[in-house]
Amino acid sequence: MQHAPRLAAAFLVCHAVFAATPAAADNITIDEIVVTADLRERSLDVVPVSVSILDARFIEQQSIQHFEELTYSVPNLNWSGDGHRARYFQIRGVGELEQYQGAPNPSVGVLIDDIDFSGIGTIATTWDLERIEVLRGPQGTRYGANAIGGLIYMRTASPGDEFSGRVQLLAGDDDARSIGVAAGGAINDRARLRVSAHRHESNGFRTNTFLGREDTNGREETTLRGKLDVDLGASWQMNVALLYGDIANGYDAFALDNSYTMLSDKPGRDEQESLGASMRFDGDLAGGRFTSITSYADSDIEFGFDADWGNDDSWSPVTYDYVSRSERERRTLSQEFRLASAEAMGPGSADWLVGLYALRLEEDLDTVNLGEYFDPFFDFADSLDDRLQSAYEATNLALFGEVGVPLSAATTLTIGLRLERRETDYLDSSGLTAGPGETMLGGALTLNHVFDPDLSAWASLSRGYKAGGFNLGAVPPGGRNFDQEGVWNLELGVRKSWLDDRVALNAAAFASRRDDQQVRTSVQLVPGDPTTFVFFTANAARGESVGLEAELRFRPTDELDLYANLGLLRARFDSFESDAASLSGRDQAHAPRYTVAAGARYTHASGAFLQVDASAKDAFYFDVSHDQRSEAYALINARTGFAADRWSVTLWVRNLADERYAVRGFFFGNEPPDFPPTLYTRLGDARQAGITFDLEF
């Protein structure tokens, strides 16, 4: 109950938002919201899916550097702190918690300007973004096998017709400092260009007392982006996006006493260097609208850590020294063609869309585990020199289509299908070869009804899927292969606005059933050897989930903006027997039963402003291999400052109450000589205060 006061504070903020009395403001409106991650760019009112849209203004007010800072605002979205930055996401309890070996098979898609970074979301920095869209539930028609849990779509700022730009400087606690520059505009009467650059550094909220350093978990994050829009004439347009990211972060995040004080003598790295590009063509063709999207990404990723989390002094007189390092290179190339009817899908119009999609993924992995152990009391010695090199290739080919049938002027029935074939090829230095292939089918049946311009509702039944596969390296007996997973999702939603669009509600309720659910579990194969703590995927018989997502936006006056978001979730195993125990009826990992976020921003006519945001998250199980849980927690962020027409100064503080909260947890033996099973947790960021200066030109 120690977190009850903080949780109560968060819910009081929610109550204040809902209970606020609107003042007179005749001309206040909320802009129309368009969903760009859908097969067509459509108004939110006619998109039958539970989606959260974070626009540029909200992103700038909520984050200072990375998408992980925004996850607390999105209902039923969680992330695994297995690495330095959030790159593994869980939507409604669906999503990976880690990936140490090859054969990537993500459950949550991550796209940045149509470039595929699913499973490697470390690159998701937030400088100069136009919007982020989080689509919840299986996206069987839109994206197929890599989005059984949902899709996170990030779109960077597009160039405008007039030249404009911005500069941002930031300084704060934890030796945080950053600089960002973005500028763009028309090159000529047909082409527009925008470029941006951003560099962020900080120490990473850890102190390594053994090495006498504060930067062993430090952050060095560089992002370069470019966007070119060209009007080709005769209704055709070309959009080109380029991205370079260099996330050169340390990794020294786990302490033996679950604190911010590290004792490791060989701290690791969690780095990702990515180069990506996408090219999109849109134009009228054969009586319809043709779209071609080509994307490419090449990423070099290093992930290494001190596996014993200590040093010679920590374990003396026992010698206990283990390290692990993985280097991977991932390349993806995708091509999508779509042909759609000229009229956009929506109530009162008969529409169709057909498409072809191809994805080629290649990943090379080099893993090294080294260690020495000697116990002088028992005269026992052991050593480890385990190396694995692997090459993995996967090709996905999909045919998809969607047709909208008007049942009346206000009601549309939409049917979508996607047929996907996946072929794989794997080889590693241990002699393991594998090449499974399979065919998958998904889709959706949706009904959307517009009651009036201020009220619409939808009902949908969708099926998503995820390919089966195989586990690498050492696995328990019978744990080499796992089967394809399928999910059925029933969803009911409503969108409503009041008071001349000053209030907007976006809500959905859902129920899902996962058949042959893939579960990433873990086991320590050799007691006393931390590098034999392996992960492997198995199939649970069935999983079930029910829940609710609701988002309320309210602007009662020119000066005051309010919001409140709520996610409720009960995701559990209906039937699952593990080696350790029966998990039937237990909640799934990283699936908190509630997520709450609320905030208020007051802006005075003089330009002075004050903003307070609160979020709360229920306790959740850390993993499937044990029953250890996090604690419920609440976070409060605040900012104040002054904004003029072209510049602003902001004083901000994140985690105002300096809450200690866990974002990942392991339960195993890691302390000689007895190696008692112990819960080790990685803490989220501590309190941080700073100042930001923005200039627009």
Tokens standing for 604? 């005075």
Q: Does residue 344 have a pLDDT over 60?
A: no
Q: How confident is the model at residue 17 (pLDDT cuts 50, 70, 90)?
A: very low
How far the first Cα of the chain sits from its last, in Å, is 50
Distance between CA atoms of 281 and 593, rounded to whole angstroms? 42
Partner residues linked to 666 by β-bridges = 680
* CA 646 vs CA 40, 293, 540, 696: distances in Å: 35, 36, 56, 5
CA distance linking residue 238 with residue 398, whole number of Å: 24
* Cα distance between residue 151 and residue 133, in whole Å: 8
User: What element of type H or E holds 59?
Assistant: helix 56-62
> For residue 6, what pLDDT is reported?
42
* 649 pLDDT tier (thresholds 50, 70, 90): very high
Q: Is there a contact between 553 and 503 (Cβ–Cβ < 8 Å)? A: yes
Rg (CA), the chain: 25
Q: Three-state SS across 286-334?
A: CCEEEEEEEEEEEEEEEEEEECCCCCHHHHCCCEEEEEEEEEEEEEEEE
Mean of the per-residue pLDDT values for the chain?
90
Distance CA 361, CA 101 (A): 15
User: Would you say 668 and 681 are in contact if contact means Cβ atoms under 8 Å apart?
Assistant: no
Q: Which residue stretches of 612-678 are H helix?
A: none
Predicted pLDDT at 538: 81
Which position has the higher pLDDT, 434 or 273? 273
Domains belonging to the chain, first-starting first, are: 4-696 (2.40.170.20)
Say what percent of the chain tops pLDDT 90. Answer: 76
Query: What's the Cα-to-Cα distance from 93 to each of 571, 587, 621, rounded to whole Å?
Result: 6, 9, 11
Is residue 69 helix, strand or coil?
Answer: helix
What integer pLDDT is reported at residue 27 of this predicted model? 39
Residue 580 has pLDDT above 70, yes or no: no
pLDDT in tens, 132-188: 999 999 998 888 888 999 999 999 999 999 999 999 999 999 999 999 999 999 999
- For every residue of 592-612, DSSP letters joined together read -SEEEEEEEEEE-TTSEEEEE
CA 376, CA 310: separation in Å to the nearest integer?
18
Nearest to 152 by CA among 110, 124, 191, 120: 110
* Mean pLDDT value of segment 649-669: 96
Q: How many Cβ atoms sit within 10 Å of the Cβ of residue 408?
A: 10
Per-residue pLDDT for 15 more than 70?
A: no
- Compute CA distances 323 → 81, 334, 364, whole Å: 19, 36, 21
Taking the C-alpha atoms of residue 398 and residue 419, their distance in angstroms, rounded to an integer, is 5
pLDDT of residue 18: 36
Which tokens is 696 given?
Answer: 């627009």
Contacts of 671 (CB under 8 A, 6+ apart): 256, 678
pLDDT of residue 527: 67
The span from the CA of 669 to the CA of 170, in Å, is 42
Question: Is 548 a residue whose pLDDT tops 80?
Answer: yes
Instruction: Determine the average pLDDT of the residues in 626-652.
Output: 96
pLDDT tens by residue, 49-88: 999 999 999 999 999 999 999 999 999 999 998 889 998 9
Residue in 504, 501, 490, 497 with CA at minimum distance from that of residue 548: 490
pLDDT the model gives residue 313: 94
Mean pLDDT of 536-563: 93
Residue 75 tokens read as 């209902």
288-339 per-position pLDDT tens digit: 999 999 999 999 999 999 999 999 999 999 999 999 999 999 999 999 999 9
**Do 454 and 496 form a contact (C-beta atoms < 8 A)?**
yes
Contact (Cβ atoms closer than 8 angstroms) between residue 542 and residue 571: no
One-letter amino acid for residue 19 of the chain = A
The maximal CA–CA distance of the chain, rounded, in angstroms, is 83
Token digits of residue 83:
């690495």
Instruction: Please answer whether residues 512 and 487 qualify as being in contact, where contact means their C-beta atoms are separated by less than 8 angstroms.
Output: yes
Distance (Å, whole) CA 315 – CA 252:
18
CB 508 within 8 A of CB 564: no
Name the range with the highest mean pLDDT among 32-36, 122-126, 343-347. Answer: 122-126
Q: Tell me: pLDDT of 28 over 90.
A: no
φ, ψ of residue 531 to 5 degrees: the values are -80, -5
DSSP 157: P
For residue 478, give both structure tokens: 């019978």
> Residue 300 CA to chain centroid, in angstroms?
19
Range 180-205 average pLDDT: 97
Distance CA 218, CA 271 (A): 11
Q: What is the pLDDT of residue 142?
A: 87
146 vs 512: CA distance, rounded Å: 17
Count other C-beta atoms under 10 Å from residue 268's C-beta: 25
pLDDT at 425 over 80: yes
d(CA 406, CA 109): 31
Task: Between 691 and 47, name the one with better pLDDT.
Answer: 691
**Do 303 and 83 meet the contact criterion of CB atoms below 8 Å apart?**
yes
Q: Phi-psi bin for 62: left (phi > 0), alpha (psi -120 to 50), beta?
A: alpha
| Interatomic CA distance for residues 308 and 324, integer angstroms | 10
d(CA 308, CA 266): 9
Residues of the chain above pLDDT 70, percent: 92
Closest CA to 643 of 559, 562, 554: 559
SS3 502: coil
